[in-house]
Structure 1
Amino acid sequence: MKQTIHDVEGTMEEKAVLVSLVTNELKRTDFSSEYSLQELVNLAETAGVEVLETMVQNKESADTKWFIGKGKVEELKMMLTELGGNTAIFDQELSGAQVRNLEEALDVKIIDRTQLILDIFAQRAKTREGILQVELAQLSYLLPRLSGQGKNLSRLGGGIGTRGPGESKLEMDRRHIRERISELKRQLQEVVRHRTLHRERRKKAGIFQVALVGYTNAGKSTILRQLTNADVYVENQLFATLDPTSRSLELPGGKEIVMTDTVGFIQNLPHDLVAAFRATLEEVCEADLVLHVVDSSSPMRSEQMKVVGDVLQELGAHGKEQITVFNKIDLCGAAELEMLTADSDSVRVSAYNNADLERLTFAIQEKLLGDTKTFRIPADRGDLIAKLYRIGDVLEQEAEEESLLFKVRVNADDYAKSGYMLTAYELDRTAVPSQNAEDGTGTVEVFDR
């Protein structure tokens, strides 16, 4: 049995009935209401809540006062009384007024999906950066709902919806909360500045950045640990890891890259959370390559992939060079494997299979280092030779009388950034440098042979 914060404090454990409202609008979404409710059960259990029962209501639209129908509220009250529940968790986001009305009618703590996810993040945050980001998200969520927080603010014993900033902060008035939000944003801007400096140093050193993204519990942390021997927490639960972890990895050709594990995505990921974690998620935007890790065994695989794609679109990282990593193929049947995409932009793996991981590293290398080119460099041009080693993977080197012959696998973007200086020495091209080409101020006309 899971130990919750309530066990430690000696107070009553949270026991909840989970409620889902299936509206016409919800029926038009990609996720089925049954899957969404099951995901809510997993979220609640991850937060340390004992799930007593689930309740579903089909209704054309949400009730502005109660969210669910008045009759359903009475039914929920009886169910909570009979089962000894002290919390009701809703699968959709509630307004402040709806929370207040439901609390008065049910006399239990009312939590919505967003608050539940924020609570899990509060439990998972360990680093200073993670704690700052969670607090910012919680306060941003709380600010417009202060008038609807009624008994939630006065209930003792903490629990879901009250972790993170702490009760004292939740009771601050709007002005103090706004001041705290401003301070958190300032501190996170400093985090962004440090991250930017680190990224610039890596780029100057010619080190590639690879970001792992995916739906929560797809296996990103497991892949990072297996590839790099990283000491990261791995568990079969939602949002097992929160704080981003970066580790170096040497590719088969000897090139060193940096891999970063990012926070997992989920359907209806709170907007405040995406905004608060932008400093972390910017790692995805700045990455040279994105590994989209997919749980191949999930019956909602396609829908989960769409959620990740939508979040990447929101971050402005949708057009990034990407490899889809279909993970957990050891849990798939033959029919499921047949349905997985098979092309140069995807790899099927089991994170615990060394041969699969080796294929993945070769795929990463191919994407990052790109085409193979041959260069003849004058022996006295050490600067150009060093540049070749920085932008690519030198496969072969052969000495001639007054020059060196290099066969190099190079990334297209890095090669383009190198300008005419290397293009002029490409073996399969004839380049005519201008008068000032050597000092970097001229232009080069390049003709195919």
Structure 2
Amino acid sequence: MRRRVILVGVNLRNQEEFEYSMQELENLADACNVVIEDWLTQNLQHINQTHYIGTGKTGELLEMINVTGADTIICDDELTASQIRNLETLLDCEVMDRTMLILEIFARRARTRESQLQVEVARLKYMLPRLVGSRESLGRQGGGSGLKNRGAGETKLELDRRKIEEKIAQMNKELENLIDQRKTQRKKRNKNGLPVVSLVGYTNAGKSTIMNRVLESSQMQTDKKVFEKDMVFATLETSVRKVHLETNQTFLLTDTVGFINKLPHHLVKAFRSTLEEVVEADVLIHVVDFSNPNHEEQIKLTNEILQRIGVTNIPIIYAYNKVDLTSHKFPKVKQNKVYLSARNRLGLAELMQEISKEIFHDFIQCELFIPFTDGQIVSYFNENAHVLAEEYEADGTKLTVECKKSDAERFEQFLTTEIKQKEV
């Protein structure tokens, strides 16, 4: 049976983005495949510490439950244990908050062992302070002094808390091993000297779609594609793919978990190791759903989360996606902004050009003469550089290439012309 829910939100001091926050809550609820019966909102100066909403509104909510037959209430803010308990007692139905809803979506979508552990750790840490009074049997504690006179509820509570703490410690240990494996993989990639480009942005902005279109354009196999779907939090795992350009330039492209307003801090903390891919990137592609009327607010929230996880001094290219759903002209490039439609495969060439400008600015153009006895060097440049011209002479091969400065310096004895910095 699908749950039938009523969405409840408090507009504190007339927040401009409140309507959008409630719409986002509806999208999150839809992602859990529930039936949304109604909304209930209230303007307040302060959250009601007892029931989240005021007394009059709780009465109105009870009436709505009786009329619609709803069995679950979902609140737009994070609730305390006492607020959840008080509402459930009064309304006689399940009460969830925004954090619980997001954690449930993450738990359903997690595929890899690492993301499953990260979600479970976040969920248990969220539950820990909310154990008190979560069940009636735990709410009653015996009076008197001494260990013998302690109530059964208190003992059960302590046991539950200890079990959860032990489980968190055990999962964190397993996560540390997975994090070490990820660090080892990163070190190997760094040794190869490949630049890293990370896709970041709000959930459902089109990051995975852009990644798949880039892989298509670089003629990668279809099995390298990542999962993409028009829904919130379609991607929870960080995927890393090698992109090979026609110019023989190669870089790594990473797809990361999307962000959202009021993203639970337990989740940000749990996914910190995954988001290290972003912190260590050479360039960030900030993907924006340009068709969303609140896209400026989404940009602001994403930038705030990036700052929180320690992203500083990394060049950012803004990829304004889904422009086909607006009247704006595209494809178009304006400073560090690229207007495109990943779904229609328009504007990707312009995006790749902007990426190349950022990560291959140290490429230089030079001319080399390589004797036939060193034919393996010709092969090396054909595989790792952009060969502009190749001529065979009596004693060897003359190459005009665009290559890394380090490669030009490595084969300096074969240079026939002065190194020219590539124009970008």
Shorter-normalised TM-score: what interval?
0.7 to 0.9
Alignment of 1:270-349 (within 5 A): 270-334=264-328, 337=329, 342-349=333-340
Picking from 181, 191, 194, the partner of 2:181 is 194
Aligned to 1:10: none
Aligned to 1:208: 195
> Residue by residue, what CA displacement relative to the aligned partner does 1:346-375 show, whole Å, maximum 9, x if unpaired?
211111334522222222222211155345
Q: 1:241 deviation in Å?
A: 2.4
Aligned to 1:444: none
- Cα separation, 2, equivalents of 1:148 and 1:397: 77
Contact 1:191–1:279 (8 Å) recurs in 2: no
Q: 1:50 deviation in Å?
A: 1.0
Contact 1:243–1:262 (8 Å) recurs in 2: yes
Match for 1:325: what amino acid?
A: A
Normalising by structure 1, we get a TM-score of: 0.77
Q: 1:122 deviation in Å?
A: 0.5
What SS does the aligned partner of 2:347 have?
A: helix
- Cα separation, 2, equivalents of 1:395 and 1:289: 26
Matched, 1:233 2:227: yes
Q: 1:395 to 1:324 in 2, by over 3 A?
A: farther
**C-alpha RMSD of matched pairs (Å):** 3.4
- Cα separation, 2, equivalents of 1:63 and 1:93: 13
Q: 1:394 to 1:199 in 2, by over 3 A?
A: farther
Q: 1:250 to 1:88 in 2, by over 3 A?
A: same
- Cα separation, 2, equivalents of 1:426 and 1:101: 81
Aligned to 1:134: 119
Q: 1:208 deviation in Å?
A: 2.4
- Cα separation, 2, equivalents of 1:423 and 1:68: 73
Aligned to 1:115: 100
- Cα separation, 2, equivalents of 1:172 and 1:44: 33
Normalising by structure 2, we get a TM-score of: 0.82
- Cα separation, 2, equivalents of 1:196 and 1:312: 20
Q: 1:231 to 1:378 in 2, by over 3 A?
A: closer
> Residue by residue, what CA displacement relative to the aligned partner does 1:136-192 show, whole Å, maximum 9, x if unpaired?
110111111111533799xxxxxxxxxxxxxxxx99611111111112211111111
Q: 1:408 deviation in Å?
A: 2.6
Q: 1:373 to 1:109 in 2, by over 3 A?
A: same
Picking from 5, 11, 19, the partner of 2:8 is 19
Picking from 164, 169, 181, the partner of 1:182 is 169
Q: 1:384 deviation in Å?
A: 10
What SS does the aligned partner of 2:95 have?
A: strand
Contact 2:390–2:397 (8 Å) recurs in 1: no
- Cα separation, 2, equivalents of 1:273 and 1:176: 21
Q: 1:375 to 1:132 in 2, by over 3 A?
A: same
Q: Which runs of 5+ in 2 are unaligned?
A: 139-156, 216-221
Match for 1:308: what amino acid?
A: T
Q: Which runs of 5+ in 1 are unaligned?
A: 1-6, 8-12, 154-169, 431-449
Q: 1:221 deviation in Å?
A: 1.1
Aligned to 2:86: 101
> Residue by residue, what CA displacement relative to the aligned partner does 1:406-445 show, whole Å, maximum 9, x if unpaired?
54354xxxx6x89987999896689xxxxxxxxxxxxxxx
Q: 1:314 to 1:405 in 2, by over 3 A?
A: same
Match for 1:358: what amino acid?
A: A
- Cα separation, 1, equivalents of 2:6 and 2:137: 17
Q: 1:357 to 1:374 in 2, by over 3 A?
A: closer
Q: 1:371 to 1:115 in 2, by over 3 A?
A: same
Q: 1:420 to 1:105 in 2, by over 3 A?
A: same
Alignment of 1:431-442 (within 5 A): none
Q: 1:227 to 1:108 in 2, by over 3 A?
A: same
Q: Aligned residue pairs: how many?
A: 392
Match for 1:17: what amino acid?
A: I
The farther-off stretch of 94-103 and 240-249 is: 240-249
Match for 2:78: what amino acid?
A: E
Contact 1:265–1:308 (8 Å) recurs in 2: yes
Q: 1:382 deviation in Å?
A: 10
- Cα separation, 2, equivalents of 1:421 and 1:256: 19
Q: 1:223 to 1:429 in 2, by over 3 A?
A: closer
> Residue by residue, what CA displacement relative to the aligned partner does 1:61-117 show, whole Å, maximum 9, x if unpaired?
111111111121111111111110111100011111111111111111110111100
Contact 1:377–1:405 (8 Å) recurs in 2: yes
- Cα separation, 1, equivalents of 2:320 and 2:8: 33
Picking from 260, 265, 269, the partner of 1:266 is 260
Q: 1:16 to 1:354 in 2, by over 3 A?
A: closer
Contact 1:103–1:151 (8 Å) recurs in 2: no
Q: 1:383 to 1:150 in 2, by over 3 A?
A: farther
Contact 1:251–1:361 (8 Å) recurs in 2: no
- Cα separation, 2, equivalents of 1:419 and 1:172: 66
The farther-off stretch of 418-427 and 258-267 is: 418-427
Match for 2:119: what amino acid?
A: V
Contact 2:388–2:401 (8 Å) recurs in 1: yes
- Cα separation, 2, equivalents of 1:102 and 1:306: 33
Q: 1:289 to 1:386 in 2, by over 3 A?
A: farther
- Cα separation, 2, equivalents of 1:237 and 1:212: 17
- Cα separation, 2, equivalents of 1:272 and 1:389: 48
Match for 2:46: what amino acid?
A: S
Aligned to 1:350: 341
> Residue by residue, what CA displacement relative to the aligned partner does 1:375-413 show, whole Å, maximum 9, x if unpaired?
567859999999989996565567999997754354xxx
Aligned to 1:90: 75
